[in-house]
Amino acid sequence: MSSSTLDVPAVERLVAAAVAAPSLHNTQPWRFRFDTDMPAVYIHAAADRVLRHIDPVGRAVHLSVGCAVLNLRVAAAHFGWEPVTRLLPCPDRPALLARVRLAESVRVAPSTGLYEAVWRRRSSRYPFSGRALPSDLLAELADTAHLEGAALRFPGRDDTERVLRATREAEWRNRADADRAAESRRLVSSAHSLGLPSAAVSPQDALDRMPMRDFGAHRHPQVLPARAFETHPTLALLSTAHDRRTDWLRAGQALEHVLLLATRHGVRASLLHQAMEWPDLRRALDGLPADGPRQYTQMVIRLGYGPEGPASPRRPVEEVVEADA
């Protein structure tokens, strides 16, 4: 099958799909350049969109960009290309995080349903029902993460409690840390056209068990609406064997692949990243489960059945595309 041409509408379609990806606090820390001759897409980290107190080493920037790369790959395949991804392709250009070459497709790829999921996926920070996820779906999600070079583990009851405890501790620390709290609060303003709309701000667990992120870092969180969250949440720990920049980018692609597959199956998700932002708390999760190999935890994902989350704004395509590669 011959490939599509990388013209302006094609560029717009690819970038629109890429920017639909999740990102830390909806910072959207990416920029895109195109080489129409090769053809290829170059994805850079946007230095001006880094949260330097919450994400001092840029791990979450890499995760977010990894999510955007996965969406771009899904869109490229949907429009008839074979995406060939290279992470950190130029050692002397550290902000260039990935190159996706759009190779000619030799066969018609069967539809995976993932492209449609790119548009339907949203974080849902509402309480989920207690309905368990089918075990074959959990296995499929784990296989998907594995395909992307990461691992997805589902902790049992005791380990779930450990994860929730570490996340609660991180959430308390985040609220108490003046710099991080100010950085987070800045993104939650109705006047801020790119951050988190007030509809995206989550209700808090009335029983104080589920540590939903308080983006407004309220000193008195009881002012927030309280709801009853599921008592036995399904959590998934996404991890990698190493903790280098390429692992963070792989973890981002694995995260988004898992989220799109979950969306395709009608499963909602929200992310609990707080413990990842404190090295000691993150390390405490690396050994779970105790009888498994030690891994580097990259994300805690909460999965379940429940209401769809609200739409969050995205930067327009022309703001994130630069002239040429």
Rounded to a whole number of angstroms, the minimum distance from the CB of residue 166 to ligand FMN is 13
Of 60-68, 130-138, 157-165, 218-226, the window that binds ligand FMN (rule: CB under 6 A) is 60-68
Q: How far is the CB of 39 from ligand FMN (least distance, A)?
A: 27
Q: How far is the CB of 66 from ligand FMN (least distance, A)?
A: 8
CB 300, min distance to ligand FMN, A: 8
Q: Which two tokens stand for residue 66?
A: 């990894």
> Min. distance of Cβ 271 from ligand FMN in angstroms?
4
Give the chain as a 3 state SS string.
CCCCCCCHHHHHHHHHHHHCCCCHHHCCCEEEEEECCCCEEEEEECHHHCCCCCCCCCHHHHHHHHHHHHHHHHHHHHCCEEEEEEECCCCCCCCEEEEEEEEECCCCCCCCCHHHHHHHCCECCCCCCCCCCCHHHHHHHHHHHHHCCCEEECCCHHHHHHHHHHHHHHHHHHHHCHHHHHHHHHCCCCCCCCCCCHHHCCCEECCCCCCCCCCCCCCCHHHCCEECCCCCCEEEEEEECCCCHHHHHHHHHHHHHHHHHHHHCCCEEEECCHHHHCHHHHHHHHCCCCCCCCCEEEEEEEEECCCCCCCCCCCCHHHHECCCC
Q: Is 26 in the site for ligand FMN (CB under 6 A)?
A: yes
Which residues in 97-126 contact ligand FMN (CB under 6 A)? 122-123, 125
Report the residue from 64, 85, 144, 240 that binds ligand FMN according to the rule CB under 6 A.
Answer: 64
Q: Is residue 63 part of the contact set for ligand FMN (CB under 6 A)? A: yes
Q: How far is the CB of 277 from ligand FMN (least distance, A)?
A: 8
Q: How far apart are CA 274 and CA 73, in angstroms?
A: 28
Under rule CB under 6 A, residue 24 binds ligand FMN = yes
In the numeric block, the tokens 């990388």 are attached to: 6
- Give whole-number Cα distances, 77 to 40, 129, 140, 214, in Å: 13, 34, 21, 37
Token pair recorded at residue 219: 């000193």
174 forms part of the interface with ligand FMN (CB under 6 A): no
Other C-beta atoms closer than 10 Å to the C-beta of 162 total: 15
Cis amide linkage into residue 134, ω under 30° from 0? no
Which of residues 10, 15, 19, 23 is near ligand FMN by CB under 6 A? 23
Min separation Cβ 25 and ligand FMN, Å: 6
The single residue among 10, 17, 22, 263 that binds ligand FMN, judged by CB under 6 A, is: 22
Q: Report the residue from 69, 272, 301, 321 that binds ligand FMN according to the rule CB under 6 A.
A: 272
- Interaction between residue 274 and ligand FMN (CB under 6 A): yes
Q: What residue is closest to ligand FMN based on CB? A: 22
Position 83 contacts ligand FMN (CB under 6 A): no
Asked whether position 263 contacts ligand FMN by CB under 6 A, the answer is: no
Least separation in angstroms between CB 122 and ligand FMN: 4
Interface with ligand FMN includes 175 (CB under 6 A)?
no
Question: Is residue 309 within the footprint of ligand FMN (CB under 6 A)?
Answer: yes
Please, what is the minimum distance in Å from the beta carbon of residue 22 to ligand FMN?
A: 3
211 binds ligand FMN (CB under 6 A): no
Q: Give the footprint of ligand FMN on this chain (CB under 6 A).
A: 22-26, 60, 63-64, 67, 122-123, 125, 196, 200, 202, 213, 270-274, 309, 312
